Amino acid sequence: MKLCEDHGFLISTPLFMNEHNQLFNTLAAMTFDQLQTLYKCSQKTMMPVWEEQERQKQGIFPPASPALLSYSGIAYQSMAPDVFDDAQWAYINEHLRIISAMYGLLRPLDGIVPYRLEMQQRIPMQLYEFWGKKIVNALDDDVVINLASKEYSRCVETFQPVITPRFFELEDGKRKEKGVYVKIARGAMVRWMAENQIQDPKDLVHFHELGYGYDPQTSTQTVLHFVRKEGYHA
């Protein structure tokens, strides 16, 4: 995660702050060793996380950043929201929702502070049980395009159908899903949807960014296959 103080947006309040505070208090009650075991990280990696949590326990919080500008993973880098124009931001604000272990469901301009928590971790409660149907009930639309990892999409697809694009590399005539490339493609699809103001899920088949092409032969109504030809280099 990263701090983004120079953004110029009017940030909103996350929907589930009560739940966030409950989770924060649970983490704050844990010892250094308990948290290190939870995060499965080295002491060097753990130290800045611990120091930040200690500051927050004392009520010293960094400025809240818009959620979409606070994550620095590969999919978000590929999405490149920092260069969205006004029309793209308007589209994203209406259509994009981010699933978070700590905040539940985030809108792009919800203000958040750095945290370390993944949906599959136990603290000691099981987070899938903690969030239950709250996340899916907070969605504004019955049609959900799933561009999340399985760890997070489970919070929605357990309770309602979703449309899931899958991205394959063609190697020696065989299709393979490669984690890094899948993440890049997911971010690229969000950006493409914003650039083209996509409103109808049927139009997703026209996605051709990064050399991917839709395969109608192996796709279904709920799982869309996109294949990149062998030897493609971005």
Question: 110 by DSSP, 3-state: which?
Answer: strand
% of the chain at pLDDT higher than 90: 84
Dist. CA 61–CA 55, nearest whole Å: 7
Say which DSSP state 62 is in: P
Residue 74: predicted pLDDT: 96
The distance of Cα 124 from the centroid of its chain, to the nearest Å, equals 23
Cβ neighbours for 96, distance < 8 A, ≥ 6 positions apart: 68, 107, 108, 190
Q: How many CB atoms lie within 10 A of CB 201?
A: 13
Check if the beta carbon of residue 209 is closer than 8 Å to that of residue 187.
no
Residue 141: predicted pLDDT: 86
Cβ neighbours for 191, distance < 8 A, ≥ 6 positions apart: 78, 79, 80, 88, 209
pLDDT band at 2 (very low <50, low <70, confident <90, very high): confident
Hunting for tokens 């110029």 — which residue is that?
8
Of residues 193 and 140, the one with the higher pLDDT is 193
- Would you say residue 234 has pLDDT above 60? no
Q: Per residue in 19-39, pLDDT tens?
A: 999 999 999 999 999 999 999
Cβ neighbours for 50, distance < 8 A, ≥ 6 positions apart: 32, 35
pLDDT band at 7 (very low <50, low <70, confident <90, very high): confident
Residue 233: predicted pLDDT: 62
Q: Is the peptide bond before 124 cis (omega within 30 degrees of 0)?
A: yes
Q: Per residue in 122-167, pLDDT tens?
A: 998 899 999 999 999 999 888 999 999 999 999 999 999 999 999 9
Residue 180: predicted pLDDT: 95
- Would you say residue 183 has pLDDT above 60? yes
Average pLDDT over residues 86-100: 96
